[in-house]
Structure 1
């Protein structure tokens, strides 16, 4: 979760002002807030998240303690490919997350013979990632979804309308699953080069190579 700090600063003579921080990870914000309190110049202090929910220090501490044992700080990369000759699709997703202070990477791909276009394959790859998040018991968290499909990213973020019926159905299906899981999505476009891991998984699925793997990453 990313939040900002609102700090009402006071001087020894009673003058004061309200200061606002940039957005930052919740754990970092808590460290800064605790340091601010030690100055003795805090009249009031709270945190604001992206949904405009206000948190106290006590509430934020409890939240961070709870989520540490569950997957959090999640970023999802997704990609889909469609072979016009065989009418087969390949889907790939990579999920990075932290749990119990350790970083993990989950890789998953799948193939499909039921899709009709590359754009549908891209949507299906994102939906595949939601299925994997549900299996990880991820819920009520902000999550970044990263892909190289301008169509999917812009349609799901509301920048472009989904005029094609098949794509609109996928968008509705994804929105429904996000609401069911309580996930607050943030969609981020990247170049194909920067989405190479998910792209490789989708290509492997087209070749009939199934990948399902979870690994703990080494901290640098």
Structure 2
């Protein structure tokens, strides 16, 4: 989750200037706020998250202490593969996140039967990744989702319409899951070469190789 600071700065004429920061991490925001308050010239200092919720410094410190051990700073890569001959899909997901002071990566896949198209496999892979986030206890956080399926991501953003009934059902399912988890999603289209790991996991799922691995990143 990123946070923005807003405050009033008192100049020599006793006038007050409204100031604000860029979106920064919670730890950096608290450090910055403490340094601002140390000047003795700052009043009405508030923190805002991406959902518009506000806190004062004392509340912000308590919040960070509470979420320190929860997964955060989450980036999800997803990809779906499809075999027309068998109507099977391979779903691949790679998830990077921080927990405490440590960084982790999860690699996971799943084979899914009775798919109709590669586009449906992409939606199923996205939903598969959401289920992993739910199992991790992720909720009310901003998450970045990266994939090479421009159609899926643009439809999830609401920029492109979706006319296929089957895909609309997946859209509804995904949106409901994100709403339940309270996620603030960011969708990023990436080239296929940057999505090789999720693509490989999807292929391995079609080959019958089940993978779920959580790795500490050193």
Corresponding residue of 1:180 = 180
Q: CA deviation at 1:188?
A: 1.4
Number of positions where the alignment pairs a residue of Structure 1 with one of Structure 2: 218
Partner in structure 2 of residue 126 of structure 1: 126
Question: What's the CA shift for 1:13?
Answer: 3.8
Structure 2 unmatched ranges of 5 or more: none
Q: Distance in 2 between matches of 1:39 and 1:90?
A: 57
* Counterpart mapping for 1:17-28 below 5 A: 17-28=17-28
Question: Residue in 2 aligned with 1:33?
Answer: 33
Deviations 1:64-122 (A, max 9, x none): 11111111111111110112233221100011111121111111101112111111101
Secondary structure of residue in 1 paired with 2:208: coil
**What is the TM-score when the length of structure 2 is the normalising length?**
0.96
Query: How far apart, in 1, do the equivalents of 2:126 and 2:98 lie?
Result: 20
> SS where residue 82 of structure 2 aligns?
strand
For 2:94 and 2:125, the matched residues in 1 are separated by 10
Looking at structure 2, the residues matched to 81 and 129 of structure 1 have their Cα atoms a distance apart, in angstroms, of 14
Q: Tell me what 1:152 maps to.
A: 152
Q: 1:50 aligns to what?
A: 50
Across the aligned residues of Structure 1 and Structure 2, the Cα RMSD in angstroms comes to: 1.2
* Distance (whole Å) between structure 2 residues aligned to residue 115 and residue 60 of structure 1: 46
Q: What is the alpha-carbon distance in structure 2 between the residues aligned to residue 43 and residue 136 of structure 1?
A: 38
State the TM-score, normalizing by the size of structure 1. 0.95
